[in-house]
Structure 1
Amino acid sequence: MTLIAIVADDLTSAGDGAAPFRDAGFPAVITFADEPRRPGVTAVDIDTRTRPVAEAVRLSARATATYADADVLVKTVDSTLRGHLVAEVEAALSASGRRTAVVAPAFPGQGRTTVGGVQHLKGRPVDRTWFARDPVHPVHRADLCELFPGAVLSAQVANLIGSVRYVVADAVTDRDLDALVAAIPGVEEVLWVGSPGLAAALARRHAPQAPAASPEVVPAAASRLLVVAGSLNPATDRQLTRLGAATGAEPVRVADTGAVERTQRRLARHGTAILCRPRRRVTGAPVPAALARATARLAQDNAFDALVLTGGETARTVLLALGARSIALAGELEPGVPLGLIEGAPGSGRLPVVIKAGGFGDLDTLVRLHDLLTATPERLPWSP
């Protein structure tokens, strides 16, 4: 089986990068640290989105070197160009021993396209959207050829492999990404740089002839679903409001007095609870840490039997607080929204968890995820 490695700067990028390969038939796992390599797809979360750039460079190089012999090597980037984009990719390319990085961050399924080398969100350059005001990593440039030194924008990518360090590829549809991947036969010479759109195209190209079996236990219908949201993206706020209206689960703010007890009562009485960040916008580690502590307390009492985590830093912090070592992916519920089973959490068995980037989805995404997770397993997309 083809060996595929994904180096991601946060947990949501690891999940939405690996999930298309799982859907294509590969076994796929997300790891948080150095784990023994497994067959199929390994996505490692190096957790560098909010770290200092020097540390991000070191971790990107180290992880890429570890997996440099993979048949397909992917360095994920945020599809709105947040994070230490150029520094991490440069470090990864140097550590990989590969000749050229093909930069294709389009994710058409979520409205993220690349036109003329400029990254767009729903038709607008990303540096003219909310992401220009992101409190942690504001996006000031959308032109990939300006960002990557010496980059060449070309529709003839295959002809440039080995002669330039960075090739930028336009894409506005999944077909464009499929054509890009198909045009490059020598994948071992390339470091692929992109988001879930590119991952899905690579998965379709390299799908195994004998797909791996789905997880031995398809998650049963959740009776106590906990949604934990730490993302600062306004899209998350709107999705939480819609979920609360649809389920009667009014969000509980983690900083409020008695937040854990209120959340536990709502899970017991209504089967769904929402635990989210304070109304006041606070950046940095305190909010994810507070959400993680609250979730761990709830887990000690077996208060929930399924999790939805939104926001990469929040998701990682919560899962580590639960003792998770890795996540075995089951499949994708929506584009860029994977479902997995937590591995290594003491006393939790293999708890189902959904991971979603804060900006992904439409107004009703969380409502649909709730309906899928609380329905019978036959409703899941990969069920026969």
Structure 2
Amino acid sequence: MIGVIADDFTGGTDVAVAFRRAGLRVLIQFGTPDALQATDNADVVVIALKTRTLPVGQAVEQSLEAARELLAVGAHQLFFKFCSTFDSTSAGNIGPVCDALADLTRSEFAVVVPSSPAHGRTQYNGHLFVNTQLLSDSPMRHHPLTPMTDPRVPDLLRTQTARTVSLVTLQDVHAGPDALAENFTNLGAAGTAYAVVDAVDAGDLANIGRAILDHPFVSGAAGLAAGLATAVAERAAPANGPAAMANGPEHDGPAIALAGSCSARTLQQITAMQAEGHPSYQLDAVAVPDSRILAEAALSWYETQPAGPTPLIYSSLPPEKLRESQSLLGVAESAQILETAMGLIARGLVRRGVRRVVVAGGETSGSVVTALEVTGGMIGSEAAPGVPWIFASGTNPIALLLKSGNFGDVDFLVRAVTPGTALAPIA
């Protein structure tokens, strides 16, 4: 069994579906549970945390807690999943969490693989690209919490760890899994703690996956999960043969779109919803710096909407407006007000009968899932690469779609809230 620790909720669903596509049985839980659900039949267990922007000490503590739970139920390999745009600051949290998990698993060497070609993220000569742009030229340079202004992943990682970081180039990857595995062994023997590995397509990731199949600790984005899943499927059939899940309930009841990401793609998706006639309501933390009042106003607005296109409630801002809000309220305070409000709004909407909740933004997704007290669920079909429906059970079953800010095409939100798109889990 592979045990995955994801640093945010959308990252957890992204990595879960990457393993799921290879026919592996995947369980996902949100937050570190008091005790993991039964995992006897699972090939992969994902614990999705919300640690990407926490203070370093808290991120390390929560990641270690999740790792110990996974090891206790039989994980033979730990996988730390971070964002494919290497979202972090000079203080962390990727480096410190990797250090702690490497120590826990007694791993003197581990790979770091941010590439995820399905999402347009590739690494060449240590430089990370978002589609055709260097990371530092992409919209990620304007991220409100983790602005990415340096595309050189080895250099980024060196600012977060005192351990030795080396680059493994695409030429090394193309030498094949056996040569690559030998390369990794030699690097470890020479004192390298982390190898940042180039990859530009699925074949590269499969080679890496084959070379690290028996490593006790690995780290990377969902692309590495896809490569590792390929290697697992080649070595032996999944624990239960092809993943077979009983059909879950379809949820075609009332829907809502909640957007908190300020990424360029989410802003385009909001504009597309508005252009298609979906009523929208914007949260303004500067005008009303109180989460409870913001939520109450949004819910009152929702109650006045007639039957028709699915409503959108959003707090997303373009870069110039975001900077203005942060200068007036502070970065942390602004985010806290809006994330708390979104959680309260989601809870209020579900009480009012909403059964399909589409969320744009990793931090916003974490707030919504936490507020709804969703502890896990069954992975369903994908609405976009790496964005699966999650069928949460309970007294009020709901379907969740949790999207990273930059994921999905421009029409993603429009299609996601259209009746009939919350499909039954993959058969």
Q: TM-score, normalised by structure 1?
A: 0.88
Q: Which residue of 353, 375, 383 corresponds with 1:333?
A: 383
Look up the equivalent residue of 2:36 and give its one-letter code: P
State the distance in 2 between where 1:240 and 1:78 align: 22
Q: Following TM superposition, by how much is the alpha carbon of 1:215 offset from its aligned partner in structure 2, in angstroms?
A: 4.2
Q: Following TM superposition, by how much is the alpha carbon of 1:278 offset from its aligned partner in structure 2, in angstroms?
A: 6.2
Q: Secondary structure at the match of 1:30?
A: strand
State the distance in 2 between where 1:205 and 1:199 align: 10
Look up the equivalent residue of 1:253 and give its one-letter code: Q
Q: Following TM superposition, by how much is the alpha carbon of 1:218 offset from its aligned partner in structure 2, in angstroms?
A: 4.4
Q: Secondary structure at the match of 2:378?
A: strand
Q: Which residue of 215, 218, 223 corresponds with 1:192?
A: 218
CA contact (8 A) 2:29 2:377 kept: yes
Q: Following TM superposition, by how much is the alpha carbon of 1:140 offset from its aligned partner in structure 2, in angstroms?
A: 3.5
Asked if 1:375 is matched to 2:410, the reply is no
Q: Following TM superposition, by how much is the alpha carbon of 1:249 offset from its aligned partner in structure 2, in angstroms?
A: 0.9
Give 1:240's aligned residue. 270
Q: Which residue of 125, 136, 140 corresponds with 2:134?
A: 125
Q: Following TM superposition, by how much is the alpha carbon of 1:105 offset from its aligned partner in structure 2, in angstroms?
A: 0.8
Asked if 1:94 is matched to 2:103, the reply is yes
Q: Following TM superposition, by how much is the alpha carbon of 1:336 offset from its aligned partner in structure 2, in angstroms?
A: 1.5
What stretches of structure 2 of length at least 5 have no aligned partner? Answer: 173-178, 285-293, 326-333
C-alpha change, 1:332 and 1:166, in structure 2 (3 Å) is: same
Q: Which residue of 250, 269, 277 corresponds with 2:307?
A: 269
Q: Secondary structure at the match of 1:270?
A: coil
CA contact (8 A) 1:75 1:192 kept: yes
Q: Which residue of 201, 205, 211 corresponds with 1:183?
A: 211
C-alpha change, 1:215 and 1:139, in structure 2 (3 Å) is: farther
Look up the equivalent residue of 1:245 and give its one-letter code: A
CA contact (8 A) 1:144 1:168 kept: yes
Further displaced range: 150-159 or 75-84: 150-159
CA contact (8 A) 1:24 1:204 kept: yes
Q: Following TM superposition, by how much is the alpha carbon of 1:88 offset from its aligned partner in structure 2, in angstroms?
A: 1.6
Give 2:291's aligned residue. none
Q: Which residue of 75, 82, 85 corresponds with 1:77?
A: 82
Q: Which residue of 13, 17, 23 corresponds with 1:15?
A: 13
Look up the equivalent residue of 1:214 and give its one-letter code: M
Give 1:227's aligned residue. 257
Q: Secondary structure at the match of 2:154?
A: helix
State the distance in 2 between where 1:271 and 1:133 align: 31
CA contact (8 A) 2:124 2:200 kept: yes
State the distance in 1 between where 2:372 and 2:129 align: 37
Look up the equivalent residue of 2:341 and give its one-letter code: A
State the distance in 2 between where 1:365 and 1:23 align: 21
- Offset from partner CA, 1:147-177 (integer Å, 9 cap, x none): 2442222225311234332112111111211
Q: Following TM superposition, by how much is the alpha carbon of 1:289 offset from its aligned partner in structure 2, in angstroms?
A: 0.7
Q: Following TM superposition, by how much is the alpha carbon of 1:271 offset from its aligned partner in structure 2, in angstroms?
A: 5.0
State the distance in 2 between where 1:311 and 1:239 align: 12
State the distance in 2 between where 1:278 and 1:333 align: 21
Q: Work out which of the two has the higher radius of gyration on C-alpha atoms and give 1 or 2.
A: 2
State the distance in 2 between where 1:278 and 1:203 align: 35
Q: How does 1:39-50 map to 2 (within 5 A)?
A: 39-40=41-42, 41-50=44-53
State the distance in 1 between where 2:242 and 2:56 align: 39
CA contact (8 A) 2:36 2:69 kept: no
C-alpha change, 1:376 and 1:241, in structure 2 (3 Å) is: closer
Alignment RMSD: 2.4
State the distance in 1 between where 2:250 and 2:309 align: 16
CA contact (8 A) 1:62 1:95 kept: no
C-alpha change, 1:348 and 1:380, in structure 2 (3 Å) is: closer
Give 1:291's aligned residue. 342
State the distance in 2 between where 1:123 and 1:94 align: 36
Q: Secondary structure at the match of 1:67?
A: helix
C-alpha change, 1:289 and 1:110, in structure 2 (3 Å) is: same
Q: TM-score, normalised by structure 2?
A: 0.80
Give 1:168's aligned residue. 196
Q: How many residues are paired up?
A: 369
Look up the equivalent residue of 2:2 and give its one-letter code: I
- Offset from partner CA, 1:252-273 (integer Å, 9 cap, x none): 123578421322443x601511
State the distance in 1 between where 2:222 and 2:32 align: 21
State the distance in 1 between where 2:313 and 2:9 align: 19
Further displaced range: 91-100 or 249-258: 249-258
Q: How does 1:288-367 map to 2 (within 5 A)?
A: 288-302=339-353, 304-344=354-394, 347-349=395-397, 351-367=398-414
Q: Following TM superposition, by how much is the alpha carbon of 1:133 offset from its aligned partner in structure 2, in angstroms?
A: 2.5
